Amino acid sequence: MASISDFLSVESLRKLEQLAVRSRYITEGSMSGGHKSPLKGQSVEFADRRAYTKGDNLRHLDWKVFGRTERYVIRQYEEETSLRVHVVLDASGSMAYGSPEHPTKYQYACRVAVALGYIVGKQHDSIGLTVYDNEVREMVPARSGSRHLRLIVDRLASHQPCNVTDTGKALHALAEMISRRGLIVLMSDCFDDPDALFNAIAHFKKKMHDVILLQILDPAELDLSMSGIAEFIDMETGETLEIDPVTAREAYKHELQKAIDAIREKCAVMNVDYRLVFTSESFEDFIHQYLLERRRMSL
């Protein structure tokens, strides 16, 4: 059985200790936690106290309790619930690509997924996993606890990317399976029909989910840095194409950049939090910078 150490080193865990995952929206959950819920009581007056956790708003610290007990507690003025984070991972054939000096896109996405799971677990929230290609292949409902995270790790390690992509079909099915609103973290290279992709994302948005789209690419896919006549093989269909990368490079880069810009612009219109991530970037550094930025956006 796979373990967290297969994806995260001790040093990686240390870097992730102080981070927190937050939703920009009101969430629904089944456990007491630190996120605003639409399930309010009869008023917004003081209701209860709970232990302080990193990332909580310091304005709600109860200093009187601290003066008596030297314990940090938060005053709650409305019902708070746990955040449900659903990591949705593209495991189609194209995600198996990785240039020699970098992990494959799937391996990189797995590391990000496990890191998010670790952070979410530390803040006592729930994490779920969906792995898909042309349909949903693995689904682990959102729950909390270290045993649950080990289950997610094992599912990621046991799956190998293959098959063609049908993001639209897989995500529409998933949107119907997730009943409570939460945070959807979609990781894909986005080598798919963009209309189908965004129709599926719209399904999540209609159900009031907060959506993050991480487009994961290998640096070689951006600049076509090979030299000499080469045969390119489609990792999903097996089709082959022989070209001279030097001759095709500029046109290729132009078309790819157009596609990336179109995805970024569509995400902005739909209020989807989009990031382009390269496998050459340290995943710990990416998560650290991104979550700090996201926290500033939510203040």
Q: Which CATH superfamily is domain 4-19+82-298 in?
A: von Willebrand factor, type A domain (3.40.50.410)
SS3 for 80-96, per residue? EECCEEEEEEECCHHHH
pLDDT at 31: 42
Q: What per-residue confidence (pLDDT) applies to 72?
A: 86
Nearest to 46 by CA among 81, 74, 26: 74
pLDDT digits (tens, 9 = 90+) for 13-28: 998 988 999 887 754 4
What is the DSSP pairing of strand 126-132 with strand 136-143? Answer: antiparallel
CB 198 within 8 A of CB 36: no
Check pLDDT > 90 for residue 255: yes
In the prediction, which pLDDT does 26 show?
53
Spans of all domains in the chain: 4-19+82-298, 40-78
Give the best-scoring range by mean pLDDT among 29-43, 45-59, 150-164, 222-236. 150-164
SS3 75: strand
Is residue 78 over pLDDT 70? no
pLDDT one-digit tens code per residue, 29-70: 444 444 454 443 333 445 567 788 777 778 778 888 888 888
The pLDDT, as a whole number, for residue 32 is 42
pTM: 0.81
